[in-house]
């Protein structure tokens, strides 16, 4: 059993497979759940293409309402059980490859349905199987406790973003923008003492990030994404299509709030008749506009935007964001961080917080009634 009473830093291994559904990120972090002492090695293990296709199919038809059976991995339908076992296999492979002898593992699992308004979220993967297969205590099911407390269950990286802002010595209000499959932003006042303070954080999903563009490009090209934003840069933005796109009441709804990957299907259909380049350009503009709309909800305009996730490699996207946001827009590498692995690091950090009984979400990040320590612990 992991000794946590002393609050001393331990090496924690975080595992994350996001809404892009491309594979598993794994990272080691030395932390006491409050401060960050050291960043260890990291790696990415891709899903097999056939499994990735099955996962996306499961996401498209996943249940949207909670049932007792779906809350218990032992009672899942056979198709979900098979996918979950494959997910655990890939995660265990990542653990073996990374090594490092962690004291604790933070395992997020693969989201196939997230319906916060119905109080339901479903992540494939059984943390007890990860603990048994790795021989290391594993924290998992990070979202359920938050949702039982009235929260959205997402986003969960904001507490880690707060720790990163302190680690980087930042002082003025900033925004961490994650451009994964779905975009999310964390507004931070680093001068606050703790992330659960009411004025320390505000976090919410902004709208689509890479999901729309990736799915569109996958239907048109062998590459499956717009590398460096080249297609979008060569295309023409169809303002007539944008004006007809569903802008969703969501954009105007006050945070905290979160989204599911499938919430943007009407947008995908709206650009089906466009050329590859014009479709990529129009979807990229739509994504950037959604991020820009997020500023209206913030306590004060950020003095800087730090971008992580795969979307920061899209030069066209980054340029559009810079045009729309009244502050510098930079990849997180500008402050010495690794934007490809940051969310995996976040779940390593959160796992240690769970071990210490510290909050992992707060009213300002998910809308829960009070700060919540989420996650359950399985031992080998």
What is the rounded CA–CA span in Å between residue 5 and residue 28? 21
What pLDDT shows up at residue 5?
47
Tens of pLDDT, residues 92-142: 999 999 999 999 999 998 877 777 777 777 788 889 999 999 999 999 999
What pLDDT shows up at residue 230?
98
Tokens of 176: 């961490």
Architecture of domain 10-153+341-378: 2-Layer Sandwich (3.30)
Q: How far is CA 290 from CA 8, 246, 248, 315, in A?
A: 41, 12, 10, 17
Residue range(s) in the chain whose domain bears CATH number 3.30.420.40: 10-153+341-378, 169-335
* CATH of the domain spanning 169-335, picked from 3.40.50.2300, 3.30.420.40, 2.60.40.1080, 3.40.220.10: 3.30.420.40
Peptide bond into 155 cis (omega under 30): yes
What pLDDT shows up at residue 3?
54
Give every residue of the chain whose pLDDT is below 50, as ranges. Answer: 1, 5, 64-69
**At a CB cut-off of 8 Å and minimum separation 6, what does 373 contact?**
145, 353, 354, 357, 358, 359, 360
- Tokens 């940051």 sit on residue: 342
pTM of the model: 0.89
| CA quadruple 305, 340, 185, 371: dihedral sign | negative
**At a CB cut-off of 8 Å and minimum separation 6, what does 365 contact?**
155, 156, 158, 159, 186, 195, 201, 202, 203, 256
- Decide if 184 contacts 204 (C-beta within 8 A): yes
What is the rounded CA–CA span in Å between residue 287 and residue 268? 12
């Amino acid at each position: 059993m992991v000794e946590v009473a002393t609050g001393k830093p331990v090496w924690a291994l975080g595992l994350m497979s996001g809404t892009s559904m491309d594979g598993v990120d794994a990272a080691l972090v030395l932390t006491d759940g409050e401060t960050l002492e050291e960043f260890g090695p990291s790696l990415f293990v891709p899903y097999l293409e056939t499994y990735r296709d099955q996962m996306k199919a499961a996401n498209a038809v996943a249940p949207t309402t909670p049932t007792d059976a779906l809350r218990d991995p032992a009672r899942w339908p056979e198709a979900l059980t098979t996918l979950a076992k494959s997910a655990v296999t890939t995660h265990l492979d990542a653990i073996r490859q990374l090594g490092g002898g962690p004291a604790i593992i933070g395992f997020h699992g693969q989201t196939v349905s997230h319906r916060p308004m119905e109080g339901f979220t479903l992540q494939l993967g059984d943390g007890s199987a990860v603990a048994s297969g790795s021989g290391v205590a594993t924290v998992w099911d990070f979202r359920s406790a938050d949702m039982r407390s009235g929260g959205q269950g997402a986003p969960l990286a904001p507490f880690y973003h707060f720790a990163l802002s302190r680690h980087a010595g930042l002082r003025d209000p900033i925004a961490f923008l994650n451009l994964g499959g779905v975009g999310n932003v964390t507004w931070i006042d680093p001068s606050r003492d703790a992330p659960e303070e009411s004025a320390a954080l505000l976090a919410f999903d902004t709208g689509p990030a890479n999901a729309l563009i990736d799915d569109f490009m996958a239907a048109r090209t062998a590459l499956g994404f717009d590398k460096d934003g080249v297609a979008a840069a060569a295309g023409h933005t169809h303002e007539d299509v944008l004006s007809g796109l569903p802008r969703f009441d969501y954009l105007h709804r006050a945070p905290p709030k979160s989204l599911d990957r499938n919430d943007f299907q009407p947008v995908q259909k709206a650009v089906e008749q466009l050329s590859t380049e014009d479709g990529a350009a129009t979807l990229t503009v739509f994504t950037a506009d959604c991020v820009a709309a997020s500023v209206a909800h913030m306590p004060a305009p950020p003095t800087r935007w730090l971008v992580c996730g795969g979307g920061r490699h899209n030069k066209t996207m980054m340029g559009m964001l810079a045009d729309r946001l009244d502050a510098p827009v930079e990849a997180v590498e500008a402050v010495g961080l690794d934007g490809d692995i940051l969310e995996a690091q976040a779940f390593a950090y959160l796992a240690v917080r769970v071990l210490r009984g510290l909050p992992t979400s707060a009213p300002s990040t998910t809308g829960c009634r009070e700060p919540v320590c989420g996650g359950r612990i399985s031992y080998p």
